[in-house]
């Protein structure tokens, strides 16, 4: 049986879909067979990030309604033959997909894949419950902003009531220059507030804004290194952390911090 991971958050826009897509790609690069499931029903973010929105013929709703088999709805990635996406549906009332139906789809997928990655909707309503109830591990994504951390805390508390094997923390969009100048919470601060050791720390990087599926692009950038370390941690259980402040230490580093503040 493969591992069933859900990426969740209290606050929207913290990078759940970005994490799902890029960790999925990174795990496929590491030789794992991966399927990503878009549980953010109504907003087909994952389809767009993975550039498959024009390839969607069937979706989760069609499987539940018996219009197609699970295999027919899966879309294979263009670059990685071991990577698939199960699209969310477009015009459907979310209440129609029962927790048990969704769980059964995820369980079936976990038989044929090493990793099932579920992109959870933001918030803590029915969509959250459906996605988390189907998973065996949860990763809470937060940014270092107080509102996101506060919402992550609420989600962590809720997750504790599910029979999950592991609850992890991903701190996304960390600005090394701001951490060094004391203008942003450190990973240690966030980890203490949430009483959870981070599984990964990911820097804020404009390359992600340009290319959301950054892992598949041939670009040298900080964020790719951090995402690969994070994927390796998920795979192996190790806790290597990317140091976002590395470039901002020492005399030249301090100069960089000052320059960043000016421009």
Ligand X SMILES: Nc1ncnc2c1ncn2[C@@H]1O[C@H](COP(=O)(O)OP(=O)(O)O)[C@@H](O)[C@H]1O
Nearer to Mg ion, 131 or 185 (CB): 131
Among 2, 3, 17, 32, binds ligand X (CB under 6 A): 17
Nearer to ligand X, 18 or 136 (CB): 18
| Closest-CA residue to 89 (of 55, 44, 127) | 44
Among 3, 8, 10, 15, binds ligand X (CB under 6 A): 15
| Closest-CA residue to 86 (of 61, 114, 123, 104) | 61
Does 77 participate in binding ligand X (rule CB under 6 A)? Answer: no
118 neighbors 37 (Cβ within 8 angstroms) = yes
166 neighbors 156 (Cβ within 8 angstroms) = no
Nearer to Mg ion, 155 or 257 (CB): 155
Nearer to ligand X, 9 or 110 (CB): 9
Q: What are phi and psi of 110, to 5 degrees?
A: -65, -15
122 neighbors 28 (Cβ within 8 angstroms) = no
Contacts of 253 (CB under 8 A, 6+ apart): 180, 247
Task: Pick one of ligand X, Mg ion, none as the site partner of residue 202 (Cβ within 5 to 8 A by kind).
Answer: ligand X
Region binding Mg ion by CB under 5 A among candidate stretches 37-45, 62-70, 169-177, 201-209: 37-45
Task: Pick one of ligand X, Mg ion, none as the site partner of residue 15 (Cβ within 5 to 8 A by kind).
Answer: ligand X
Nearer to Mg ion, 17 or 245 (CB): 17
How many residues contact ligand X, by CB under 6 A?
19
Task: Pick one of Mg ion, ligand X, none as the site partner of residue 136 (Cβ within 5 to 8 A by kind).
Answer: none
CB of 147 to ligand X, least distance (A): 13
Residue 239 DSSP code: -
Between CA 117 and CA 124, with CA 122 as vertex, the angle to 5 degrees is 105
Region binding Mg ion by CB under 5 A among candidate stretches 45-53, 62-70, 93-101, 131-139: 45-53
Does 8 participate in binding ligand X (rule CB under 6 A)? Answer: no
In the chain, the DSSP E strands lie at 3-8, 34-38, 75-76, 83-86, 115-119, 137-142, 166-174, 198-203
Does 44 participate in binding Mg ion (rule CB under 5 A)? Answer: no
Does 130 participate in binding ligand X (rule CB under 6 A)? Answer: no
Residue numbers of the site for Mg ion (CB under 5 A)? 16-17, 45
């Amino acid at each position: 049986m493969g591992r069933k991971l859900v990426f969740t958050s209290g606050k929207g826009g913290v990078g759940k879909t970005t994490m799902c897509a890029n960790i999925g790609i990174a795990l496929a690069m590491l030789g794992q067979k991966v399927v990503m499931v878009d549980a953010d029903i109504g907003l087909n973010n994952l389809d767009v990030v993975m550039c498959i929105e024009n390839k969607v013929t069937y979706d989760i709703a069609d499987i539940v309604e018996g219009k197609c088999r699970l295999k027919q709805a899966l879309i294979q990635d263009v670059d990685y033959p071991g990577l698939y996406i199960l699209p969310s549906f477009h015009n459907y009332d979310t209440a129609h997909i029962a927790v048990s139906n969704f769980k059964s789809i995820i369980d079936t997928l976990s038989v044929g894949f090493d990793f099932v990655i579920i992109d959870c909707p933001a918030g803590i309503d029915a969509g959250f419950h459906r996605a988390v109830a189907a998973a065996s591990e949860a990763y809470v994504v937060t940014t270092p902003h107080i509102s996101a951390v506060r919402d992550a805390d609420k989600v962590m508390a809720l997750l504790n009531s599910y029979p999950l094997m592991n609850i992890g923390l991903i701190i996304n969009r960390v600005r090394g220059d701001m951490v060094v100048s004391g203008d942003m919470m450190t990973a240690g601060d966030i980890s203490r507030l949430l009483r959870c050791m981070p599984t990964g720390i990911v820097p804020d990087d404009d390359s992600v804004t340009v290319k959301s599926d950054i892992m598949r692009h041939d670009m040298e950038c900080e964020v790719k290194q951090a995402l690969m370390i994070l994927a390796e941690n998920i795979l192996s259980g190790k806790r290597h952390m990317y140091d976002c402040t590395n470039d901002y230490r020492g005399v030249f580093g301090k100069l960089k911090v000052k320059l960043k503040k000016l421009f």
